[in-house]
Structure 1
Amino acid sequence: MKLLLKYMKPYRGLAIITVLVLMVDIAGTMLVPTLLANMVNIGVATKNFNYILQNGLAMLGATALASGGALLGSYLSAKLAANVGRDIRNAVYDSSLAFSGSDFERFGTGSMITRTLNDINVIQQSIIMTIQMVLPVPIMCVMGIALATSIDYQMGILLAIVVAVVLVIAAITVANAAPIFTRLQRFIDRMNVVLRENITGVRVIRAFNKEEHENERLDDVFSRYAKAAIKVNWLFAGLDCSAFFLMNIAEVAVLWFGGNRVGAHAMEIGSISAVLEYAMLILFFIMMAQIVALTLPRAKACLDRADEVINLVPEIRDCVRPAHDPLDAKGNLALDAAVVADAAVTADAAVVADAAEPDDDADVVAAFRHVTFRFSDADEDTLHNLNFRCRRGQTTAIIGSTGSGKSTVAKLLLRFHDVTGGAIQFNGADVRGMTRESLRDAIAYVPQKAWLFSGTIADNLRFGNEAATEEQMRHALDVAQSQFVYDLPDGLDSRVAQGGTNFSGGQRQRLSIARALMKRADLYIFDDSFSALDFKTDAALRRALVPETRDAATLIIAQRISTILHADQIIVLKDGEMAGIGTHEELMETCEVYRAIAESQMKGGDGNGR
């Protein structure tokens, strides 16, 4: 609830106006029965036509006032809900942008989609319905019972008893509904996950003739959701029945007791109609409020889920700068004891001291110093005691078997995860003392899975440089061997499907490389980015890269020996540890792991790729 109040606070003026407008609506509505009672009791009884006409016009004015209030109130409440929903949705999305890889895994993609879209839609609808259906209830109850009591105190007491009974039933029903709605949101999460898997993996499902199996899996998820939804419908059905039953009982009671009091000359006949109208209005709004109240536990569950995302402290975050600690020219922090503590570093004093010292070589862009890393849910280290440097104007390559930790190196450099031991330096500064923005600004990254965004080819290239000219884009495409773009009817304006699925794997990789080249970076990371290219294109692309990256360091992560033959240094990983480091020729002589990889890939050659 605190989350909702926080995001409604900027719109408190709008909220106050909305409530005032709704009170005008209620006042107009509650005025009509009194005017009607006066018309009957006085105008009809005395046959005073002018009095009847005056009260009729007053009723018409009250009705117009109520209608105008209802219309304006609906608009204002919808506007308020839309603004609050937008702000919460933006907050959820903004928080997710700061998540580390582990943070994302905690929630899952399907759940994040549900929380950002479905959950906040539920919150918006609940705000609208609460303002229009729930907030008026206490005001109507107080005004209705007060007006009924002013007409006849016994009828007022009767109305108060009926209202109290209905409110107790509503409270019990809502309490029982809360856990069911929480489960409903979890089932929606699960449905999102399974549906997403089936839609994106439809080709694999068909290739393995698993349509029936996946059908059964989906049916199981849908059935669980249906059972929970049916329970909710039972609650709604029971609530409707009890509410209408009580309304009819109240109507009969008012007519019975009112008729007896009219017969006893204790009240007038017009007053019965007024009390009856108040009873129907109050009970109708209570019934509507009950239906809305049944959805409030679901909205509460949605608010809690949004709050989980918004208030999650990211595993990786920029260090808090002490007041006395100035920023450098790039807006980064120097590594000191406070920064190390804030980053939750587990390195020993010797490693921290070593990381804090400036590197001897001015041309070193990135340096791994005794780096150890373990995923939070893992039992052993993924990387252990890595020591190497990436120098400006040189190419560093990393090779190893699947699962050796190659891609994790790139993720640590980009600070998608933080080291659990040791330190990574970038341009002489510990990455934990840099802002993530400044660090990632200096790195151009091509991921292992080439991903393109929906839009045009030009849109995707400008992702690396918003101010890129057509000439710059064409140059990047030429370097990335993406001349196929020129053969497309629309060229740079050719449409790209989500994920780039309307291009082949090799074309997606080349476009991803071109996107990275649009950025002038200190370090270029190619994470197995040449795997879908044929040997000729691979060689041509690497030759074209040399002049483009001569002022930067290049890190190539690969499984193919031919891709890294001419690297200035090759790092061989085995089970997360360095099994060797050197040039291709040196490793062929000294590293058994590298030699085994080379020989398995180069049978029939001389071990040097010829």
Structure 2
Amino acid sequence: MAKQTPFFTSISRLYPHVRPIIPRLLMGLMCALLASIVALAIPQVLRVLINDSLRPGGATDAVWVASLIILGLGIAEAGLVALRRQFVINPATTVETRMRVSLYGHLQDLTVSFHDRWGSGQLLSRAMTDLNFLRRWMAFGAIMLVVTTLTVVIGVVVMFAMSWQLALIFLAAAVPIMIYGFRFRTRFSKVARRSQDQAGDLATTVEESVHGIRVLKAFGRSREALENFNEQAEELRQTEIAKAKHQATFSMVVTLLPELALGAGLVVGIMLAADGQLSIGSLVAFFATAAVVAAPVEFSGMLLAMALTAKTAIDRHFEVMDAPNTITSPEQPREPAQLKGALSFNAATFAFEDAPDKPILKDVSLDVRPGETMALVGITGSGKSALLQLVPRLYDVTAGSITIDGVDLRGFSVEQLRTVVGVAFEDTTLFSNSVRDNVLLGASEKSQEALEEALDVAQAHFAYSLPDGLDTLIGEEGLSLSGGQRQRIALARAIAAKPKVLVLDDPLSALDVNTEELVEARLREVLADTTTLIVAHRPSTVALADRVALLEDGRIAAVGTHAELLAHNEHYRYVIASLETEPRDLDSELSDLSELEDESEEISR
């Protein structure tokens, strides 16, 4: 459970965002307030009508005049309500959009370690559900909460002016409402936060299940996934019920007590009117005014719940916005005239933020010459992938340094560094866009020639035979393609960027032997002037390299050619012997298993 902050402290954080639209919000507030004042004026017209006209000898014309005045007031109230909406809806949606774009931009800047800790559903719920609720609260809830408060205050003053005895009875009902309101605020804030957090967790579960549907079906775990989802959904349902109970209890209190006060007031009012201390017109006007005041009092339960939920949404939004971006550009970044691509690790040490005392990499020192292709090998868990992710500064070293042409990576601007360094990871990530847009994502030259060359090097010629060719939309995360196809598109994307330094995390693992040979042959040509660091999980990938670095327990144990290490290093021979020789397209296999499972279900039916 996140730490609770005071209500007004949380709300005040919206000020920089709403400052440009404050004039429009104030106009909407004035319209809403005038509409309430108009509603309070109608009982006064009734009071004058009853006292002066509805008595023996009264003028009949006054009835028509009063009716026209009440009609005019009603039309004015409706017009003011419509104006309020016109004033606030457009600026409120503008604030929502700007906050959403700001959140998305901040998420793009935040480090990979931040995204490692946060579920995607939690971020999605903050970007969509919370900000959508904030927009509705700014456009309606906040304004009506202020108007409701002012309406009650003005109404009570008017009621005191007509009969202080009856007003005291009505006011006495406010004391227990205020006491219970304080307790309601504390309890509802906690349950509202729990509800929004559980909704985010549920969204994460849905997203993971959709992305992993092939695995769930292949292993026959759809029922277990459904049961787990059902448990989470039930927890959220129970929390929502608890929310509804708190709100219903508060609504009962704020509805029952004023009604009881009105009942008691009616008895006292009739006695006062019988004694001549209160006119019939004033008695009718008092209860008409009390009815106008009672409506916003009863409405206050929903408005208060809305305000507390908005406060929680603000807290959740700024939990993300307050997260620091530790990987930033220097104030005066270095801009070398021409990079050669010499990559050096100088006693580089790295540990994850949540385990600083357990470094993954320890005092790594390694020099990769300009234009050289170096393979990085080691057993599983030796730190190969972590080492590669330090080069584009997806993570920063915790000690030591990494340089390109003698310049510390932290001396470059982040944008420039990630233009210089290209990446392709084993776990490919594609976007719900065309093949063309995916391949040219990081390319400075978005020409047809660059696209075709990258596809040719990666042996991704299959892209031309897709339904719409290179403009075919490949679906969310490219799941409409096989694992080997996705990997070739990702490799083409890295090549199209034409980086000076290229880091490849076993980019050929899902390719068949023949395709791998063709890719390697073309890579030797295009990587002639590119410094390349490649994680190898198979001997065939090692053969692509000029030299090999052996990583053991987070340290560089040996560096040399494949033949040298094979002849003189026992651990290297062990690693090479354990490397996989035949790559498998696991996604295709899982798809086949899924189809077999569906066929068996059809046969069983």
TM-score when normalising by structure 1 = 0.88
Aligned to 2:562: 584
Q: 1:599, 1:415 → 2: CA distance?
A: 32
Shift of residue 364, structure 1, vs aligned partner = 4.4
How far is the alpha carbon of 1:328 from its aligned partner? Answer: 4.2
Task: Choose from 18, 27, 37 the match for 1:27.
Answer: 37
> Are residue 520 (structure 1) and residue 498 (structure 2) matched?
yes
CA contact (8 A) 1:581 1:587 kept: yes
Q: Is the 8 A contact 2:334 2:413 kept in 1?
A: no
Change (3 A) 1:249 1:447: same
Give the letter aligned to residue 346 of structure 2: R
Match of 1:370 among 343, 347, 368: 347
8 A Cα contact 2:119 2:201, kept in partner = no
1: distance between equivalents of 2:186 and 2:579? 66
The 5 A counterparts of 1:468-547 are 468-547=446-525
Secondary structure at the aligned position of 1:416 is classed as: coil
Matched-pair contact (CA < 8 Å) for 1:144–1:282: yes
Shift in Å, 1:529 = 0.8
Q: Offset at 1:330?
A: 6.1
Q: 1:405 aligns with which of 383, 406, 420?
A: 383
Moved more, 164-173 or 289-298: 164-173
Q: 1:220 to 1:259 in 2, by over 3 A?
A: same
Distance across 2 between alignment mates of 1:290 and 1:476: 62
Report the Cα distance in structure 1 between the residues aligned to 2:423 and 2:280, rounded to whole angstroms.
83
Q: Of residues 49, 52, 62 in structure 1, which corresponds to 2:63?
A: 52
Alpha-carbon spacing, 1:408–1:55, altered in 2? closer, same or farther (3 Å)? same
**Paired position in structure 2 for 1:219:** 230
Counterpart of 2:157?
146
Matched, 1:458 2:469: no
SS at match of 1:495: coil
Q: Deviations over 1:342-396 (max 9, x none)?
A: xxxxxxxxxxxxxxxxxxx984432111111111223422111211223332212
Q: Which residue number in structure 2 is paired with residue 12 of structure 1?
A: 22
Say whether 1:266 aligns with 2:277. Answer: yes
Q: Secondary structure at the match of 1:496?
A: coil
Question: Which of 235, 245, 256 is the aligned partner of 2:246?
Answer: 235
AA paired with 2:53? G
Q: 1:87 aligns with which of 94, 98, 119?
A: 98
SS at match of 2:423: strand
Alpha carbons 1:126, 1:296 under 8 Å: kept:
yes
For each residue in 1:185-229, what CA deviation from the matched residue of structure 2 results, as whole angstroms up to 9, or x when unmatched?
222232223333333223323333333433332232222222222
Structure 1 CA distance for aligned equivalents of residues 580 and 412 of structure 2: 42
CA contact (8 A) 2:51 2:279 kept: yes
- Give yes or no for contact 1:366–1:389 (8 Å, CA) kept in 2: yes
Q: Identity across aligned pairs (percent)?
A: 26
Q: 1:290 aligns with which of 282, 298, 301?
A: 301
Structure 1 residue 268, shift from structure 2 partner: 2.0
Taking structure 1 as reference, are residues 504 and 211 closer, same or farther at Cα in structure 2, changes over 3 Å only? closer
Give distance in 2, aligned partners of 1:369 and 1:281.
Answer: 76
Determine if contact 2:374/2:545 at 8 Å carries over to the other structure: yes
User: How far did 1:557 drift?
Assistant: 1.4
Q: 1:418 aligns with which of 392, 396, 403?
A: 396
CA deviation profile, 1:389-432 (whole Å, cap 9, x unmatched): 23332212111111111111121111111111111012321112
Secondary structure in 2 matching 1:291: helix
Calculate the aligned-residue CA RMSD, in Å.
Answer: 2.4
Identify the residue that residue 80 of structure 2 maps to in structure 1.
Answer: 69
Residue 73 of structure 1 deviates from its aligned partner by 1.3
Moved more, 69-78 or 15-24: 69-78
C-alpha spacing 1:72/1:569, structure 2 compared with 1 (3 Å): same
8 Å CA contact 1:103, 1:315 repeated in 2: no
Name the SS for the 1:32 alignment partner: helix
Provide the rounded CA distance (Å) in 2 between the counterparts of 1:49 and 1:160: 37
Matching residue within 110, 113, 117 for 1:99:
110
Q: Is the 8 A contact 1:123 1:302 kept in 2?
A: yes
Question: 2:190 corresponds to which residue?
Answer: 179
Instruction: Name the amino acid aligned to 2:449.
Output: E
| Residue aligning to 1:317 | 328
C-alpha separation in 1, matches of 2:454 and 2:315:
46
**Deviations along 1:314-342, whole A, 9 cap, x unmatched?**
232234x3xxxx554469xxxxxxxxxxx
> Contact 2:550–2:572 at 8 Å: present in 1 too?
yes
- Contact 1:448 1:528 (8 Å CA) reproduced: yes
Q: For the structure 1 residues 520 and 302, does the alpha-carbon distance in structure 2 shift closer, same or farther, using more than 3 Å as the test?
A: same
Partner of 1:334 in structure 2? none
Cα distance change, pair 261–470 in 1 and its aligned pair in 2 (3 A): same
Give 1:530 shift: 0.6
Work out which of the residue numbers 30, 47, 53 in structure 2 matches 1:43: 53
Q: Against the structure 1 CA distance between its residues 328 and 416, is the aligned structure 2 distance closer, same or farther, given a 3 Å change threshold?
A: closer
Return the match for 2:89 from 78, 82, 86: 78
Report the equivalent of 2:588. Answer: none
Asked if structure 2 preserves the Cα contact closer than 8 Å seen for 1:392 and 1:550, the reply is no
- Shift in CA distance, 583/487, structure 1 to aligned 2, threshold 3 Å: same
Residues 330 and 56 (structure 1), Cα distance of their counterparts in 2 relative to 1, 3 Å cut? farther
In the aligned structure 1, how far is the partner of 2:197 from the partner of 2:581?
A: 53
8 Å Cα contact 1:184/1:225 also seen in 2: yes
Residue 500 to residue 535, structure 1, CA distance change in 2 (3 Å) = same
CA distance in 2, matches of 1:71, 1:602: 70
| Larger deviation, residues 83-92 vs 586-595 | 83-92
Output the CA distance in 2 between the equivalents of 1:566 and 1:481: 16
In the aligned structure 1, how far is the partner of 2:135 from the partner of 2:478?
34
The alpha-carbon deviation at position 500 of structure 1 amounts to 0.2
Gaps of 5+ in 1: 332-360, 605-610
Relative to structure 1, the CA distance from residue 163 to residue 273 in structure 2 (aligned partners, 3 Å threshold; closer, same or farther) is: farther
The answer to whether 1:391 aligns with 2:373 is no
Change (3 A) 1:461 1:362: closer
Change (3 A) 1:53 1:427: farther
Per-residue deviation, 1:232: 1.6
Q: Please, which of 373, 380, 386 is the counterpart of residue 358 of structure 2?
A: 380
Are the aligned partners of 2:32 and 2:144 in contact in 1 as well (CA < 8 Å)? no
Aligned-residue offset at 1:491: 0.5
**Residues of 2 paired with 1:108 and 1:190: CA distance?**
7
Relative to 1, partners in 2 of residues 1:437 and 1:152: Cα closer, same or farther, differing over 3 Å? same
SS of 1:267's partner is coil
Q: Find the counterpart in structure 1 of residue 211 from structure 2.
A: 200
Gaps of 5+ in 2: 1-9, 583-605
**Cα deviation digits, residues 87-145 of structure 1 (max 9, x gap):** 32223222222222222233332322222222222322333342343111221112111
Distance in 1 (CA, whole Å) between partners of 2:574 and 2:110 is 39
Distance 1:97 1:458 in 2: 22
Q: Give the letter for the 2:47 counterpart.
A: A
Counterpart position of 2:585? none
Contact 1:247/1:280 (8 A) holds in 2: no
Distance 1:131 1:563 in 2: 62
Query: How far did residue 162 of structure 1 move?
Result: 2.9
SS at 1:455 equivalent: coil
Q: Distance in 2 between matches of 1:528 and 1:265?
A: 96
Question: Offset of 1:182 from its aligned partner?
Answer: 1.8
Partner of 2:5: none
Alignment correspondent of 1:209? 220
